[in-house]
A and B are shown apart, each in its own frame.
Chain A
Amino acid sequence: MTSHFLPEPSPDASLPDGKGRFGEFGGRFVPETLIAALDQLETEYYQSRNDPAFQTELDVLLRDFVGRPSPLYFAKRLTEHCGGAQIWFKREDLNHTGAHKINSTLGQALLTIRMGKKRVIAETGAGQHGVATATACAHFGIPCVIYMGEEDIRRQQPNVQSMKMLGAEICPVTTGSRTLRDAVNQAMRDWMSSVAETHYILGSVVGPHPFPLIVRDYQAVIGRETIRQSEERFGRLPDAVVACVGGGSNAAGMFYPFVAETDVPLVGVEAGGESDQPGRHASSLTFGKPGVLHGSFSYVLQDEDGQTDDVHSASAGLDYPGVGPEHSHWKSTGRVEYRSCRDDEALSAFDLVARNEGILPALETSHAIAKGMEVAKERGKDEVVVICLSGRGDKDAGEIQRLKNEAAARRT
C-alpha cells in the first residue's frame, strides 16, 4: 500500500539541523540525565522512517482507527456571513478522540514499543492530548500517567473523565499557575527519574530536539492531505491557510507541507487573552522574545530576569508562555504571519460556527476561526481560505457557559 499519511522527504529536509536547530531556534536545553534518552529517540525515529513495517502499521492505524483522511469541508453559511473568500475547514475534529493530537500519539506510542519502553507519561492542557495519549496507550496496552494542572482539570472536566475511563492515571499539578506550563514541568521531572523505562509523549512541537521534529512530522499528514484535497477540489492550492498556535503542533502539521509553496500565505493565531498587558495573554510570538523554556530556544514570555511570565487564555490548550522553535524560525524568516486573537473574539467565533455550521469547535480552534474569518474578509469571493479545525468543542461547553454567565453578571 502506498503511504498517504507518513513523513515523506521533507520540502526543507535540512531543518532541523544536526543540533536540532531551526535556524537559530530549537536545540536541547535539558539536564544531562535526559540526553541519552533524547539521542535514543532521535536514532529510533530516523530508523522508523525507513522501516516499511513501522510505516504500514501507522498507516493502517491512521486509516482504520483514526478515520483518516479527514474531510475538507466547505463552510457555506459562514462564508456567506463573512462575504469574502470561501472558507473551508480541514476537519481534524472528526478524528477519533476529536482532535489532531491522535496523529502524533499513535506514532509516538509505536516508537515507545520500538524502543522497548514500558510506560508512558504525558502532559495535557485542554485534555485533548491527554485523551489521545490515553487512547493510544489503551490500544497498545501501555500503562500511562497524565500530568494536568488543577485549573485545567476544572475547566476541561469531560476530558478528565474520558482519560480515567481509558485507564490513564491522572496526576493533578498544583504548582505555579496550575496550567499547561506546570504540567510540562512535572512531566519532565517524572521523566528525569523514570527515563530508562518510560517514554514522554510530548503533546506539541515544543521541548528539546527531537520532539519538535517528530511531532511536526506526525502532524504533517494534515497539510499533505489538505494539499491533495485542494488539488482535487479546486485544481490548485488554497489562497491562504490558517491555524491556531498553542505549542504549535496543528499549525506546524498544516503549514509544513506548504512552506515550500511560497505563494500560499500562512497565518498562525495565538491566544490574545484579555489584553496586551503582560500576564493577560499567551501570545509568545507577538509579544515575547527569544529565550529558553522547557528545553528549547524559542520565543517565550519572560520578565527581564528570565523568569517565565504568567499567561492567560480562556482556552487551556493555548494557555502557554512558549511556542515551538520552528514557528520562531518561520516568524523570523517571515514565512508565516502570526496574529493574536482575544478571548471574546474566539467566543464569538465559537457561537457563529455552532449556529451557522452545526459544528462545535474547540475553544483553541475558535481562535483560528476568528482570524480565518478576518483573512477571508480581506480576500475576494473566488479565493479559498482553509482553516485547520483542530478539534471539537464538546469539552468546552460547560466552561463556555460559565464564561458567558460571568460576562452577563458583569454587564448587570
Chain B
Amino acid sequence: MSAIDELFQQLKSEGKKAFMPFVTAGDPNLEFTAAMLERLDAEGCHLAELGIPYSDPIADGPVIQASYTRSLQGGTKLNSIFSMASEVTAEISMPIVTMVSYAIIYRMGIDEYLQQAIDAGISGAIVPDMPVDESDELAAKCKSLDFSLIQLITPTTPRDRALQIAKQTTGFIYYVSITGITGERTELPSDLADNLRWLRSVTDLPICVGFGISKLEHVEVLKSVADGLIVGSAIVRRIAAAANDQSNKEEVMNDVGGFAQGMLAAING
C-alpha cells in the first residue's frame, strides 16, 4: 500500500477530509520551498503537490506560469529538486506528489524519473498533459513500484471515459472543478457537486477537487462531496510576495501558514 492509500484510509477512519496545498519547486528558491513544505506539514496539511517548473505549461494560469518562470530563471534543475525533496521528506509526515509535465518525465526516461522520485521519498505523480490513452506504460511501471499515478477527470470528460480513467488511477482521482486553466475563481460551476456525487457512486477511490479553489465558501460546498481539496494559485500568489522581496520571507511563511490553518479548520472543523 502506498503512503497515499494509507493517508486516505486513515482520514476515512477519522471521518476527515484532506487539505492539499500546491507549491512550485524553487519559487523563489529551493531553500524556501523546503521551509514552506515543512511549515505546511507542521500546520497539519495532509499532502503536498510539488509543482516541477516547466517552460511551456498549457493547463496553468498566469499565477502558476509566473512561478515556473521565476523558478527556472533562478536556475532550478530537476536533480536539485530531488535532493531538496529527499531532505524534506525525511523530516515530514505528509506525503508529497509531483505535478510534472510528461515532457520532463520523457526526457529523463520513465524508469529513471520514477527511481529518482522514489529515492527522494516522493509518493506519486500527477502528469497533467498525459491523458489516460497515453498512460499505459507509465501506469504499469508506477503500479509495479507502488507509486501513485493520479489521473485527472474534468467537466468535459464523458462518463464512460471517466470510468476508464478511474480504472487506471491509483492514489486518488483528481477532479478538475472547472473547464479551464489553474487560477483562483470566485465561483465554482453549479453542477460540480452533482458531478462529484455521480463519480462517488461509481468508484471507491478517494476523489479530490482542484483548480479554482481559494475561498472558505468553496470548502463549505465541497467538503460533503469530496475527500480532499487542492489549492494552488491562492498559495502561489502569496509566495510570489517573497519572490519580489526576499526580506519578508517570514511574513510570507506566516501568511501561507495562516491561510492553510483557515482552510484546514473549514474542512475538518
| Residues of A near any B CB (own CB < 8 A) | 19, 27-37, 175-176, 181, 185, 188-189, 192-193, 195-196, 291-295, 297, 300, 302, 304-308
Contacts and interface: CB of A to CB of B under 8 A. Distances in A.
B44 interface: no
Contact of A192 (B59, B65, B78): B59
Interface SS, B side: loop
Given A192-B181, A292-B102, A306-B104, 13 more contacts: A28-B131, A29-B103, A29-B131, A33-B155, A176-B55, A185-B58, A192-B179, A193-B179, A195-B179, A196-B179, A294-B56, A306-B54, A307-B104
Interface SS, A side: mixed
B164 to A, nearest CB: 11
A304 B104 CA distance: 9
B154 interface: yes
B108 interface: yes
Contact of B154 (A33, A181, A188, A294): A33
Q: How large is the interface on B (under 10, 10 to 19, 20 to 34, 35 or more residues)?
A: 35 or more
Interface string B163-188: 00100000000001011110000000
A32 B102 CA distance: 13
A305 B71 CA distance: 14
Contacts of B106: 291-292, 297, 306
Chain A CB count within 10 A is highest, among B65, B130, B156, for B156
B129 A30 contact: yes
Interface of B: 54-61, 65, 69, 72, 77-78, 101-108, 128-134, 151-158, 161, 165, 176, 178-181
Nearest to A19: B133
B58 A188 contact: yes
Contacts of A33: 59, 154-156, 176, 179-180
Nearest to A187: B58
Contacts of A195: 156, 179
Contacts of A34: 156
A294 B105 CA distance: 15
A27 B137 CA distance: 14
Contacts of A36: 156-158, 161
A32 B108 CA distance: 23
B56 A293 contact: yes
Contact of A37 (B59, B156, B181): B156
A138 B181 CA distance: 29
A19 B158 CA distance: 18
Contacts of B152: 31-32
Contacts of B60: 189
A306 B179 contact: no
A20 to B, nearest CB: 9
A117 B117 CA distance: 43
Contact of B78 (A193, A305, A308): A305
B150 to A, nearest CB: 12
13 contacts: A19-B134, A28-B134, A29-B129, A30-B131, A31-B59, A31-B128, A32-B157, A35-B133, A176-B69, A189-B58, A193-B180, A291-B103, A305-B107
A246 B161 CA distance: 35
The 7 closest A-B CB pairs, nearest first, are A306-B107, A193-B180, A306-B104, A292-B103, A307-B55, A306-B103, A31-B59
